[in-house]
Amino acid sequence: EAQVTQNPRYLITVTGKKLTVTCSQNMNHEYMSWYRQDPGLGLRQIYYSMNVEVTDKGDVPEGYKVSRKEKRNFPLILESPSPNQTSLYFCASRLSGAGETQYFGPGTRLLVL
């Protein structure tokens, strides 16, 4: 089944404790992206990647890191999480063509205490 998977789905952590949210897709998509969703602000793009070893900042990259060492994986790293990073995070992927549909993962709900 074609899908985007994220792990963990739910995470409670404390300020300053490094964490990684994994994202994996099995559709051989070139493009992958991370978003956060907050009440009243909607979805905002954090980082995106056009292909292996190619990443770029989105609208709200501060406090986050990403890497794209393999085509199927695009982990989101929070080196020192803070309470303002409490949010619902979505990973998405698509083929690189202009008319391609974006496929979203199920979301990761993060609470930083």
Partner 1 sequence: KNEVEQSPQNLTAQEGEFITINCSYSVGISALHWLQQHPGGGIVSLFMLSSGKKKHGRLIATINIQEKHSSLHITASHPRDSAVYICAVRRNGNQFYFGTGTSLTVIP
DSSP state of 98: T
**Number of shown-chain residues binding partner 1 (CB under 8 A):** 26
Binding of partner 1 at residue 106 (CB under 8 A)?
yes
Under the binding rule (CB under 8 A), the answer on residue 62 touching partner 1 is: no
The answer to whether residue 41 forms part of the interface with partner 1 (CB under 8 A) is: yes
CB 12: neighbour CB atoms within 10 A? Answer: 11
Among 11, 19, 43, 52, binds partner 1 (CB under 8 A): 43
With the C-alpha atoms ordered 50, 9, 7, 11, is the resulting torsion angle positive or negative? Answer: positive
Cis amide prior to 81 (ω within 30 degrees): no
Options 44, 65, 71, 72; binder of partner 1; rule CB under 8 A: 44
- What residues does 22 pair with on adjacent strands? 7
Using the rule CB under 8 A, give the single segment among 20-28, 66-74, 79-87, 103-111 that binds partner 1: 103-111
